[in-house]
Amino acid sequence: MGENMSEFSSQEKSGLYKAIYTRRDVRSHFISKPLSDEVLARILNAAHHAPSVGFSQPWNFVLIRDDVTKEKIKKSFEQEKIKSASDVDHQKKEKYLSLKLEGILESDVNICITYDPTKFGPFVIGRSSIPETGIYSVCCAVQNLWLAARAEGIGVGWVSILSIELLKEALSLPEHIIPIAYLCLGHVSEFAEKPDLENAKWLTRLELKDVIYFEKWGQVSNTDWEEMNGLIRNVLDYPFIK
Amino acid sequence: MGENMSEFSSQEKSGLYKAIYTRRDVRSHFISKPLSDEVLARILNAAHHAPSVGFSQPWNFVLIRDDVTKEKIKKSFEQEKIKSASDVDHQKKEKYLSLKLEGILESDVNICITYDPTKFGPFVIGRSSIPETGIYSVCCAVQNLWLAARAEGIGVGWVSILSIELLKEALSLPEHIIPIAYLCLGHVSEFAEKPDLENAKWLTRLELKDVIYFEKWGQVSNTDWEEMNGLIRNVLDYPFIK
């Protein structure tokens, strides 16, 4: 690979970080403008170029525009949301129920991303000791899709308040296929400045220093990592984020 | 978010796609040049800005430079690789054993990314119906890290031929913490043009059309998706890929 391919200009670097920092889980801001197939193909190809354990590429993408299917999924969401409300602390329950948590019908395209453990199997390099790595690969494809969509100006929302059984039935998934992500894609009126749940003061963003340990679990400082220990207390979010 | 924040210039878009298409799982190309703490902090902050179910941010990053730990992990890799060889078809076994599958000792920094199901719990929005979504969030953080590293010119290799038990012991992980990814990071002599396992003709890259279905599992064509059906047969990898 030539030098130009290897190095990133500062604008190219900006593009990657901008996608990472301005990506949002979109629920409220879908608009009716249809998603162009050309853009969708680019986004899907980006997802398909995710890393995968043993190069197994164990993902499939089921593209959904049919309202009958969307309605079934939406109904499952509603049932599961009510079920889950019983797990919420009394004082937060009303707030929980008032949150907008999906855009299944408002978004132009829904995509179910699935995991097929049989693809290129049974032996897949790197999957013997930790079989779950096949699923981890599919999640990396989801994140590629999400970032590519963001760069293309397309919003993505991940709906996880769903019955896996109903999803499999609605999409005719074979028994051995595991649905990993159900995504809603479409044009948006805006990308919110912060995640919806941060805006709603449901939870706050942790500081970077709160998720880093040195050498062993629980070690928040270490003489070999002194400079780093300072840096993670002062790291900036992407510069153009005000 | 202002208009400039929302839209991507063509160069910014290029940057994102370049990271996606030129990212590699690095095993053979690490060089001894140390990784700067500033770059590492930027990469980690990008990972920390991944999506997470219910904004639970359930990841931790254990940064490792200690050779004693690296040697322990390397030993576990060697043991697990030999174990896994018994799963490989006879005619592919020799090739499998000859492949270089990790750069634990050659890379400057190793990072274990973990999942903590108790963080902000027990109730996490969106995790009641599909508890695995907590783990999926951590995988999205891995992919953010990988892409940010690529844009910074840093190679990343994911080692999954490892004993989870030994990893937990080596890093003093508490019982309830699940290690998701063990990554090797460092400067590289080059980023290979294709994945190592594609170069080694272990497996081939699937075409995009082979991983896409319309409306239901198994439907490879659909009258509502005719244009798309043509596009996914002709989609280009990122333009500057020769």
How many contacts does A have with B, using Cβ atoms within 8 A? 364
B60 contacts B116 by C-beta, under 8 angstroms: yes
Q: Look at residue B130 and tell me if it is in a domain.
A: yes
Q: What pLDDT score does B145 carry?
A: 98
- Cα–Cα distance between A205 and A192 in angstroms, integer? 15
Same domain, A213 and A93: no
B169 and B219, same domain (yes or no)? no
Do B175 and B109 fall into the same domain?
A: yes
Instruction: Tell me what the mean pLDDT of segment A72-86 comes to.
Output: 97
Question: Do residues B141 and B218 both lie within one domain?
Answer: no
For chain B, positions 50-79, list CB contacts with chain A under 8 A: 50-51, 53-57, 59-66, 69
Same domain, B161 and B98: yes
**For B94-108, b where at least 16 C-beta lie within 10 A, e where not — what string?**
eebeeeebbbbebbb
- Is there a domain that residue B241 lies in? no
Please give the tally of structural domains in chain B.
2
CA distance, residue B105 to nearest chain A CA (Å): 15
Using the Cβ of A38 and the Cβ atoms of chain B, whether some distance falls under 8 Å is answered with yes
Q: How far is A200 from chain B (nearest CA, A)?
A: 11
Closest CA to A30 of A162, A185, A198: A185
B3: contact with A, CB 8 A cutoff: no
Best CA proximity match to A116, nearest among A40, A42, A62, A65 = A62
Residue B41 is part of which domain span? 24-190
- Inside any domain, residue B11: no
Query: A156 with A224, same domain?
Result: no
In this complex, do B237 and A49 lie within 8 Å of one another by their Cβ atoms?
Answer: yes
Instruction: Output phi, psi for B204, to 5 deg.
Output: -110, 155
The answer as to whether A52 is a domain residue is yes
> How far away is chain B from the Cα of A36, in angstroms, using its nearest Cα?
9
Q: How many CB atoms lie within 10 A of CB A141?
A: 28
Would you call B19 helix, strand, or coil by DSSP? helix
Q: For residues B5 and A192, give the distance between their C-alpha atoms in angstroms, rounded to a whole number.
A: 11
Is A12 inside any structural domain? no
B195 lies in a domain?
no
State whether B8 and A21 contact (CB < 8 Å): no
Same domain, A37 and A142: yes
- A85-144 residues touching B, CB cutoff 8 A: 87-89, 96, 99, 101, 114, 120, 122-123, 125-130, 132-133, 135-136, 139-140, 142-144
The answer on B132 and B213 residing in a single domain is no
Q: How far is CA A5 from CA A165, B25, B153, in A?
A: 45, 16, 11
CATH of the domain at A109: 3.40.109.10
Q: Name the residue in chain B with its Cα closest to that of A78.
A: B129
Asked, for residue A9, whether it belongs to a domain, the answer is no
Q: What are phi and psi of B158, to 5 degrees?
A: -100, 120
Q: What are phi and psi of A186, to 5 degrees?
A: 180, 170
Cα separation, B91 vs B237, in Å, equals: 33
Q: What is the pLDDT of residues A38-50, one digit of tens each?
A: 999 999 999 999 9
Percentage of the residues of chain A whose pLDDT score is greater than 70: 96
Residue B112 and residue B227 in one domain? no
Same structural domain for residues A147 and A226?
Answer: no
pLDDT tens track of chain B, all 242 residues? 444 567 999 999 999 999 999 999 999 999 999 999 999 999 999 999 999 999 999 999 999 999 999 999 999 999 999 999 999 999 899 999 999 999 999 999 999 999 999 999 999 999 999 999 999 999 999 999 999 999 999 999 999 999 999 999 999 999 999 999 999 999 999 999 999 999 999 999 999 999 999 999 999 999 999 999 999 999 888 765 44
Q: Is there a single domain that holds both residue B221 and residue B140?
A: no
With contacts defined as CB-CB under 8 Å, which chain A residues touch B200?
Answer: none
Q: Quick one: DSSP state of residue B35?
A: P
Q: Do B146 and A19 touch (CB under 8 A)?
A: no
Instruction: Check whether A1 has a pLDDT greater than 50.
Output: no
* Cβ pair B12:A18 closer than 8 A: yes
Q: Is A131 part of a structural domain of the chain?
A: yes
Nearest to A151 among B12, B65, B197 (CB): B12
Cβ distance B217 to A173 less than 8 Å, yes or no, reads yes
Given CB atoms, is A26 within the 8 Å cutoff of chain B? no
Residues A3-56 have pLDDT tens digits of 456 799 999 999 999 999 999 999 999 999 999 999 999 999 999 999 999 999
Q: Do B11 and A11 touch (CB under 8 A)?
A: yes
Query: Same structural domain for residues A110 and A229?
Result: no
